Homo-oligomer: A and B are copies of this chain.
């Protein structure tokens, strides 16, 4: 491809709209343009990357017995009403009516569609297992689309659905997909971790998220420095921490003027945070709730939601606080009414602790859980910290930020039961199919790759998903010898199937070098006076900055070898 012809309109300035580096660099490198909030056009360079990611995904799905098909984007409402998700999805679902006033949505996912399909064509255990997948646009009407491809409203997904006879079959399919996903992200050149995750609204249990490690990631993860354990912090399971057992003293109220934060309070009272109780009031769709963790811990809202089995969870306001007999900044569990108290198990081990006294500028001291208050629910309610031991092996853990690019899910019989997708087993008995679903954010993977692989000059593509492998830059397009040599090198590389761009534009070398670094070709091949006069062509490796020199003879073969090592 000649740069003079390539539709990659690079920008000198970073557009103000772009908050994260992948978005900034894709706009600047002429890869991406916005059509509406969260809706983008992929320009040719981006489309090449996406096709490479898709192909890697496809090969790995096929290797596990996956069969590709293509389902509709426009889906009739009926099947969503059958599972009840027509209402559950709320405003996040793009809905439309056809000319006959029938209801449709733009598929945010395809469980309903694939299950409806399979139920009508699969009758016998002999037809199972089935692994069916597609790669296509998905739709989610995010309230605040942002971060470019990270949180779009129209995005490219691979979604595979497994249908098995039983739980053992599902475990096998799940494990195949877990392996396939690991291979996909490895082949894409990404550093990632598969972490235990929360099943969330999609339903089912047993799920891992595949996280590309990047400081800009929206997700916090923990992983063990010793064993294989890794989890989304929201999911990480924790045992209750012990605490020194003291002789219970009498409950007392103390003045704590304007001491609303744990830091202020502990400094004022001369106690450590792990001797205090942090109480946070929430309202759910059903009730007001008080969550308790130790002062040095944070409430894990996912765990709180799961323990309450609620859908909505928001911080309570002054009105709700007044209704339960409390006041902001001085909330505590002692003596409250009309509230469901949920306590982290570590709280229950405390003796003579400190907590809010539900009056302005007052705290209780010598609070003893069980004696002074009794929670409705005691559970694992807190977020893991770097101070916690590994839940599996007790070794030290670390935290990191991650971008979720894939998720594997055990759905069990949630959808097959709702949609009556059954088969006849060996004994002629009707059984629900046992399902799993497995998603990869294809467009998000491209963005995540950039988040993980960039520097101040631009993108640094992993070779496997680079839009092109190399760029050939003649320093002067006025020097006939340079131009001729650049053309020869370009032709030789193309013949050797090295995907190459020839920057034949009549621009200053500085402009071409800057664009080369911005677009992030793995190799930059410079054809200048030295190449012409000394038969030594300069090759710069984008990632390391290393510079190598090769003669023209056998050049393309050398480049192929070099690419294979990157």
A residues apposed to B, CB below 8 Å: 4-7, 9, 30, 33, 35-36, 39-44, 46-47, 50, 65, 67-76, 91-92, 94-96, 98-99, 102, 104, 106, 113, 116-117, 120-122, 126, 130, 132, 137, 139, 141, 143, 153-154
Partner of A44, one of B36, B69, B126: B69
Are A35 and B70 in contact (CB-based, < 8 A)? no
Are B91 and A33 in contact (CB-based, < 8 A)? no
Are A154 and B71 in contact (CB-based, < 8 A)? no
Are B5 and A69 in contact (CB-based, < 8 A)? no
Partner of A41, one of B9, B40, B72, B141: B72
Interface centre among A7, A46, A68, A121 (most CB of B within 10 A): A7
Bound Cα distance from A28 to B41, whole angstroms: 38
Quick one: given A33-B121, A69-B43, are A99 and B91 in contact (CB under 8 Å)?
yes
Q: Knowing that A7-B130, A30-B121, A42-B69 are A-B contacts, what are 8 other residue pairs whose CB atoms are under 8 Å apart, sorted by A's residue number?
A: A33-B120, A35-B76, A35-B113, A36-B74, A36-B104, A40-B72, A73-B154, A74-B106
Please indicate the chain B residues that have their CB under 8 angstroms from the CB of A122 in the complex: 9
Please indicate the chain B residues that have their CB under 8 angstroms from the CB of A35 in the complex: 71-72, 75-76, 113, 116-117
List the B residue with the shortest CB-CB distance to A126: B4
Partner of A68, one of B40, B44, B126: B44
Are A154 and B7 in contact (CB-based, < 8 A)? no
Are B41 and A117 in contact (CB-based, < 8 A)? yes
Are A41 and B74 in contact (CB-based, < 8 A)? no
- In whole Å, how far is A135's beta carbon from the nearest beta carbon of chain B? 10
List the B residue with the shortest CB-CB distance to A93: B99
Are B5 and A65 in contact (CB-based, < 8 A)? yes
- In whole Å, how far is A128's beta carbon from the nearest beta carbon of chain B? 11
Please indicate the chain B residues that have their CB under 8 angstroms from the CB of A126 in the complex: 4
Which 10 pairs, one residue from A and one from B, show the smallest C-beta to C-beta distance? A96-B96, A9-B121, A36-B76, A91-B99, A42-B70, A44-B67, A39-B72, A41-B71, A35-B72, A99-B141
Are B44 and A154 in contact (CB-based, < 8 A)? no
7 A-B residue pairs with Cβ-Cβ distance under 8 Å, sorted by A, are A5-B65, A42-B70, A47-B69, A73-B73, A94-B98, A95-B96, A106-B106
Bound Cα distance from A539 to B44, whole angstroms: 44
- In whole Å, how far is A300's beta carbon from the nearest beta carbon of chain B? 28
Please indicate the chain B residues that have their CB under 8 angstroms from the CB of A33 in the complex: 117, 120-121
Please indicate the chain B residues that have their CB under 8 angstroms from the CB of A102 in the complex: 36
Are A99 and B143 in contact (CB-based, < 8 A)? yes
- In whole Å, how far is A127's beta carbon from the nearest beta carbon of chain B? 8
Quick one: given A104-B36, A121-B33, are A139 and B94 in contact (CB under 8 Å)?
no
Please indicate the chain B residues that have their CB under 8 angstroms from the CB of A116 in the complex: 35
List the B residue with the shortest CB-CB distance to A129: B5
- In whole Å, how far is A257's beta carbon from the nearest beta carbon of chain B? 45
Bound Cα distance from A44 to B66, whole angstroms: 10
List the B residue with the shortest CB-CB distance to A42: B70
Bound Cα distance from A126 to B2, whole angstroms: 13
- In whole Å, how far is A8's beta carbon from the nearest beta carbon of chain B? 9
Are A154 and B72 in contact (CB-based, < 8 A)? yes
